[in-house]
Amino acid sequence: MAKFAANLTMLFTEVPFLERFEQAHQAGFKAVEYLFPYAFDAEVLASELEKYGFEQALFNMPPGDWDAGERGFAAIPGREDEFRASVDTALNYALTLGCKKVHAMSGIVDNAFSYQQHVDTFISNIRFASDVFAEHGIELMIEPLNNRDVPGYFVSRQREAVELIKQVDRPNVKLQLDLYHAQIMDGDLSVLIRDLANYTGHIQIASVPERHEPSEGELNYPHLFNVLDESGYSGWIGCEYNPKTNTLDGLGWVKPYLEK
């Protein structure tokens, strides 16, 4: 049965970040995710989780200079030391927040290096991070991002990501299958979900093409939720979308699921 985590980076933005935990609780969510926790002390966030009985479903490792357009650096040659330091940072937050899934952002391709150099760097870095996280029962997520929203991102297609995961060859490295990105780049989502089920560790959703509530756009999400059930997926589904108006007005689609 589909169960949903509120992405607090994108939902409830009508209030400051720390107030979004209460908003999500009042709306009926039982889990939260967000892009980055690092603007706040981990203990502060852990207190909010405990106050409302939330599970921390997911967060991202440090992405580099986000405001300058960086989107991680796991695949970027020459930044290996920075990546290893970011593993320590993410681990400290994951342990404090009780979070068992962390996403490593691959980065925008650096044309000063060959594609194979990016692949080699990625595999080495992901093996390092996954080995560190494995000691604490934490899974490391790899997420393809579509090249319309994030031009030049190292990995943009789901099956390409799975091939990289196979090369990494670590049992705790999984696919973060965002169906918004997947529809734009891959399509054929029912088949894709079934084919990649054994590699999938986390799901995220939004409408296509506008990235609003899943109740609009070109995707039949009730059908896809059934496909996820049939494929054996039982984890959280992250609501990573931009509300069309305000968050509460757009939650009608998820209320029947939250009330079960």
Q: Which residues are catalytic?
A: 143, 240
Do the Cβ atoms of 246 and 11 come closer than 8 Å?
no
Going by C-alpha positions, the residue among 174, 25, 4, 206 that lies closest to residue 100 is: 174
Taking alpha carbons only, the member of 62, 58, 66 closest to residue 34 is 58
What is the C-alpha radius of gyration for the chain, rounded to an integer number of angstroms?
Answer: 17
Q: Terminal CA-to-CA distance of the chain, rounded, Å? A: 9
Q: Are 248 and 27 in contact (CB under 8 A)?
A: yes
Alpha-carbon span 208 to 219, nearest angstrom: 7
Instruction: Show the tokens assigned to 202.
Output: 């986390």
Q: How far apart are CA 3 and CA 259, in angstroms?
A: 10
Distances in whole angstroms, Cα of residue 9 to Cα of each of 87, 127, 138, 151, 220 = 21, 28, 22, 21, 24
Q: How far apart are CA 52 and CA 85, in angstroms?
A: 31
Report d(CA 165, CA 141) in Å as an integer: 10
